[in-house]
Structures are given as C-alpha cells and as structure tokens.
Amino acid sequence: MTLDEYNEAVRKIVAEQQQIAQATGQLAMSGKATPASPDFVQVMTRQWSLVQQIAQLNTELMMGIFTQKK
C-alpha cells in the first residue's frame, strides 16, 4: 500500500463516518437511537468496523508497511 492509497482509504472511511453521524442523528431525532433498535445496532456495528479499519491502517502506517510508488 502506498501513502496515496492510505490517504484515499482514510478519506473513504471519514466520508462513511459522516454518513453514519447523519444516520445516528436521524435515529436520535426519531427516538430510535437505543440498543434495542435493529437500525441503531446496524449503524453502530458499521461504525465499529470502520474504527477497526482505521486502527489497521494506522498500524500499517506506523510499522512502515508501505511500498514506494513506482
């Protein structure tokens, strides 16, 4: 993975997190932002997946597991 690929992956994750924030706000406004709501659980599960992806990307960055762009 190159640094450009890393940056693009992070941009996509941040964009998806913004969508999750909007969905969470909509669920909160409708009173459905509770652990009993399947929609809320789905949104939070997706958010947790994104957090794990960011952690993996950052670990790779810190470990220097990147290739030079040729």
How many whole angstroms separate alpha carbon 23 and alpha carbon 47? 11
Q: Cβ of 43: how many Cβ atoms within 10 Å?
A: 21
16 located within any domain: yes
- What's the domain range around 30? 3-63
69 located within any domain: no
Per-residue pLDDT, 1: 74
pLDDT tens profile 10-61: 999 999 999 999 999 999 999 999 999 999 999 999 999 999 999 999 988 8
Structural domain count, the chain:
1
27 located within any domain: yes
Give residue for tokens 């924030």: 21
What length is written for the chain? 70
* pTM higher than the cut 0.85: no
